[in-house]
Amino acid sequence: MQLQRLLSFTRKAVDEYAMIQEGDHIAVGISGGKDSLTLLYALHGLKRFYPKHFELSAITVDLGFEDFDLSPIQALCTEMEIPYKIVKSDIYNILFHVRKESNPCSLCAKMRKGALNEAVKEMGCNKVAYAHHKDDIIETMLLSLIFEGRFHSFSPKTYLDRMDLTVIRPIMFIDEMDVIGFKNKYDLPVVKSKCPVDGYTKRQYAKELLKQLNQEHPGTRERMFHAILNGDIKGWPQRIPHVR
């Protein structure tokens, strides 16, 4: 995927769900993976020409894994002139050594987001950008149907009233395969996850299920995504299509 295509789909999401307002200070949550680095490129590129001026910062919650070297990301942020903050935490030790969780993903996500959002507020940001792409949104819907019995997924934009913070998902229209292509084309400095359960989660199950369904019934993936967009899901903001 070319940078121009990435920026086009990012602009579409930002415009159609009114994600960015004049004077916003947006923190980009960086995990070290391909998705969050693609998001960083997307917002950095958008900032150059978007009619509403906004500031960017980047932030990583270090979960406490050994040999988790974030220096390549620090170097990228320095090159882009984006302030970068690393938040140290003891989440890995708590989950795997203290609590010895057999299914740590949900609690890990809650603790990580809590640490992230608090740090974002301390940085003076009013918005935080998460790197959920199209496949993440569809997979979350499948997980919700299968394990919760409801039709639900990530919202493009969510206001957290207790934190006075808005979460946005600017790469929601971008396919994971395009993210992989972008990572390869632009040689993004991905820092591999050190999580011992990476690849063995319910989300991985949903990813493989979606792939199988789309292979057996071509077009399933896109139909599911449009069902989500048109599903009037509680908490989703109103979509403003064709604003340009």
Q: How many residues does the chain have?
A: 244
Hey, where are the domains in the chain? 3-229
Going by pLDDT thresholds of 50, 70 and 90, the confidence category of residue 95 is confident
pLDDT band for position 199 (cuts 50, 70, 90):
low
Confidence of residue 58 (pLDDT cuts 50, 70, 90): very high
Q: How many helices (DSSP H) and strands (DSSP E) are in the chain?
A: 9, 6
Model pTM? 0.92
- The pLDDT of residue 127: 97
Homologous superfamily (CATH) of 3-229 is: HUPs (3.40.50.620)
Q: Which residues of 58-82 are buried (b: 16+ CB within 10 A; e: fewer)?
A: bbbbbbbeeebebeebeebbeeeeb
Q: Quote the tokens at residue 234.
A: 């509680």
Handedness of CA 168, 170, 173, 175 (dihedral sign): negative
pLDDT above 60: residue 195: yes
> pLDDT tens, 105-159?
778 888 888 889 999 999 999 999 999 999 999 999 999 999 999 999 999 999 9
Closest CA to 118 of 168, 73, 165: 165
- For range 83-109, the mean pLDDT: 81
pLDDT at 66: 75
The answer to whether 190 touches 41, Cβ cutoff 8 Å, is no
Edge-to-edge strand list for the sheet holding 24-29: 84-88, 54-62, 24-29, 127-129, 165-168, 157-160
SS3 state at 168: strand
The average confidence (pLDDT) of the chain is 91
In sequence order, the β-bridge partners of residue 57 are 27
How far is residue 128's CA from residue 151's CA, in Å, rounded to a whole number?
25
What pLDDT is attached to residue 220?
Answer: 97
What pLDDT score was predicted for residue 183?
A: 96
pLDDT at 13 over 90: yes
